[in-house]
A and B are shown apart, each in its own frame.
Chain A
Amino acid sequence: MIAGRPNRGALLPARLSALTDSRVGSLVFFIIRRILWMIPIVFFVILITFLLMHLAQGSPWDKAGGRQLSAAVVNNLNIKYGLNKPEYQQFELYVWNVLHFDFGLSYQYEGKTVTGLIAEGIPYTATLGVLAFIIIVPVGVGLGVLAALRQNTRVDYITMGFATAAASFPNFVIGALMVVVFSVLMAKWTQHSFFLPAADFGLDDHLIMPVITLALLPIAYTARLTRASTLDTIRQDFIRTAWAKGLTERLVVIKHVLKNSLIPVVTTLGPTFAFLVTGSLIVETVFNIPGIGRAFVTAVESRDYPMILGTTILFSIIIAIANLVVDVTYVFIDPRVRLA
């Protein structure tokens, strides 16, 4: 402890003061505060989405069965789905149900619950997301470090050129172009003996193109950021010392450069997760995969409000948790972060 600093712990019992003064203690408080902060965020997401849904012109029964329903039927449907109650009561009921993992009934599929529909989609979306996440970090970091260590050589230019292009081309464009090259043209050239499947889901070569489409943009961002932070690190004095000690390039890079240049990269993992969520909408549409992303898009097209609400809440919770994990990880790996 710095001399002259008033010891706040003196007023507290010995054991408690050890808790508040130690880094572990403040870390625990930090995590608890971050978790509690998620509650208002998710609450407001529910509130905003809920209000928007109720602002919508027309009712969900406008397109039912492609014909106009009679007033009596509409009335019965409203009663069945609780739409005849005042809005604040509907909201109260909704939040109460959400706390019990009940997101209501889908308007679009007769007799199916939103929870059930989401549960059906999760395996597909999760498989794609996890696989993409697994390749993003090593590939992105690898390319970034490679480009930085070979700065201003052809390797650097090619890697960064690829990263810039991948960061600019939208993923549905990349997906569509890959389908043309690896499915359509490949099938034509090889007389249908070798090509990648362009639709549906399977735990085999069906995964290749969707996962690449999903991972390409985060890989590009990670590579660019890693390159910048690695360039920053290799100019530091302690790296010169490491070289001066006569360490091999491998040792310098792995033990000294990477450890420091990866710190800023961790912060991008939060946005990466958010991107994987929105990317799933597009990739699942391009490759016709029945995951949550596709379910959300279909719900938007057919104005299935309970489904839209449910998936939006799920997405925002996933992103809030991802950001929480990233923030906590950051505190663990960077001792300079203050837990104010």
Chain B
Amino acid sequence: MALAAPALEQAVDWEVAEQQIGLWQDAWHRFRRNRLAVLGAGLVLFLILVAFLSPLLVHFHLIWNPGTQDVANIEVGPAQAGHPLGSDELGRDTLSRLMFGSRISLSVGILVQGIILPIGMAIGLAAGYFGGRIDNLLMRFTDIWYAFPDLIFVLVLVSVFGPSLLTIFGAIALVNWVGLARLVRGQVLAIKEKEYIEAARSSGSAPLKLILKHLLPNALGPIIVTVVFGIPSAIFLEAVLSFLGVGIQPPTPTWGQMVFDGYEAIYANPSAVVLPALAIGFTLLSFSFIGDGLRDALDPRMKR
């Protein structure tokens, strides 16, 4: 047996090497083939670029400052009086406010996921792996949590702690981590029973190493997908708060607030409502295209 082993190993190695493509490489290939996902990724990259460049464009006077009031030209339509997309009821440039609005939307979407990811993952892993009391507590907690609709709870938090940037980010993170924790728990429960985990455990891996090296990498696909789908839902919540007038306060331009402001003069200048509304809609659509693409790409069973 001891003599035959090296030969066998070699044969196996040779066979695998012929067609081995890593999970990530494979996922990337499949993601690229999904036209909608690539389109979504392109749009999001464009938005990120806009978010970074807009202060620079203001600096070089290529666009208006989003706070400057052009009092002579209030509520003008697109392409009038030097305002490419018109101006709002205070004479502020719509294009520039749209561009600066992307900064809030993107940072809410991405930062909130940055807060949720470590918390949700740690709690989900602990509940799924160790089970027992932590698990019970998490599950009872989520039962209560799901009786609060997201938006209602965020609104209650904002009314209590005031509509500051910190409250809004925190509140949105607070309502979203439960979903991620539950997903991680489910993944861990499913993977925990697999033979390779048994093998690692019986060969003496410490729990932490087992979790980090064997459990987590195998649960990563669905976690990534959930986090990506979490981005549009956070952006959506922030936009709704702004639209309801309890979000990030003026003069900071946000898309939701622009829709609300435009509503006042919707008859005279409908573009003030349509443009930010479309910006929100297409941003969310792009993220869900990316999410759909990733979900298909990261599921090895979806091979054609």
B139 to chain A, nearest CB (A): 12
Q: Point out the residue from B148, B236, B267, B288 that lies within 8 Å of A316, measured CB to CB.
A: B148
With a cutoff of 8 Å between Cβ atoms, the chain A residues found around residue B157 in the complex are 52
* A-contact bits for B142-154, CB 8 A (1 contact / 0 none): 0110011111100
Q: Point out the residue from B158, B246, B259, B288 that lies within 8 Å of A176, measured CB to CB.
A: B259
Binds A, one of B114-122, B196-204, B237-245: B237-245
Q: Which residue of B lies closest to A52 (CB)?
A: B160
| Given A168-B284, A299-B159, 16 extra CB contacts under 8 A | A52-B157, A55-B161, A164-B285, A169-B280, A170-B239, A176-B277, A177-B278, A180-B270, A187-B267, A198-B266, A277-B149, A281-B152, A281-B155, A297-B245, A312-B148, A315-B149
Asked if A133 CB lies within 8 Å of chain B CBs, one says no
Q: Point out the residue from A179, A303, A312 that lies within 8 Å of B152, measured CB to CB.
A: A312
* B-contact bits for A265-283, CB 8 A (1 contact / 0 none): 0000000001101100110
* Dominant secondary structure of chain A at its interface with chain B: helix
Question: In the assembly, what is the distance between CA of A243 and CA of B82, in Å?
Answer: 67
Interface members, chain A 139-182 (any B CB < 8 Å) = 164-165, 167-170, 172-173, 176-177, 179-180
With a cutoff of 8 Å between Cβ atoms, the chain B residues found around residue A319 in the complex are 147, 149
B30 to chain A, nearest CB (A): 19
With a cutoff of 8 Å between Cβ atoms, the chain B residues found around residue A320 in the complex are 147
Seen from chain B, the residues whose Cβ lies within 8 Å of a Cβ on chain A are 143-144, 147-152, 155-162, 232, 236, 239-240, 243-246, 256, 259, 263, 266-267, 270, 273-274, 277-278, 280-281, 284-285, 288
**Total residues of chain A contacting the partner, CB 8 A:** 48
Binds B, one of A11-19, A40-48, A65-73, A325-333: A40-48
Asked if A301 CB lies within 8 Å of chain B CBs, one says yes
Asked if A185 CB lies within 8 Å of chain B CBs, one says yes
Question: In the assembly, what is the distance between CA of A152 and CA of B256, in Å?
Answer: 36
Asked if A113 CB lies within 8 Å of chain B CBs, one says no
Contacting pair B284 A170 (CB below 8 A): yes
Question: In the assembly, what is the distance between CA of A164 and CA of B37, in Å?
Answer: 13
With a cutoff of 8 Å between Cβ atoms, the chain B residues found around residue A48 in the complex are 144, 148
B299 to chain A, nearest CB (A): 15
Contacting pair A56 B240 (CB below 8 A): no
Question: In the assembly, what is the distance between CA of A257 and CA of B267, in Å?
Answer: 48
Given A56-B160, A184-B270, A308-B156, the answer on whether A169 and B148 have CB atoms closer than 8 Å is: no
Question: In the assembly, what is the distance between CA of A40 and CA of B147, in Å?
Answer: 11
A330 to chain B, nearest CB (A): 16
With a cutoff of 8 Å between Cβ atoms, the chain A residues found around residue B243 in the complex are 172, 282, 285
Instruction: Give the interface centre of B152, B273, B278 by most chain A CB atoms within 10 Å.
Output: B152
With a cutoff of 8 Å between Cβ atoms, the chain B residues found around residue A57 in the complex are 161-162
Contacting pair A173 B143 (CB below 8 A): no
Asked if A137 CB lies within 8 Å of chain B CBs, one says no
Given A57-B162, A168-B232, A300-B246, the answer on whether A184 and B240 have CB atoms closer than 8 Å is: no
With a cutoff of 8 Å between Cβ atoms, the chain A residues found around residue B288 in the complex are 164, 167-168
Asked if A296 CB lies within 8 Å of chain B CBs, one says yes
B101 to chain A, nearest CB (A): 13
Contacting pair A169 B285 (CB below 8 A): yes
* Pairs A–B under 8 Å by Cβ, sample size 25: A48-B148, A55-B160, A57-B161, A164-B285, A168-B281, A169-B284, A170-B239, A170-B284, A172-B256, A173-B259, A184-B270, A198-B266, A275-B149, A277-B149, A278-B149, A278-B150, A281-B244, A282-B244, A285-B244, A297-B244, A299-B159, A300-B155, A316-B148, A319-B147, A319-B149
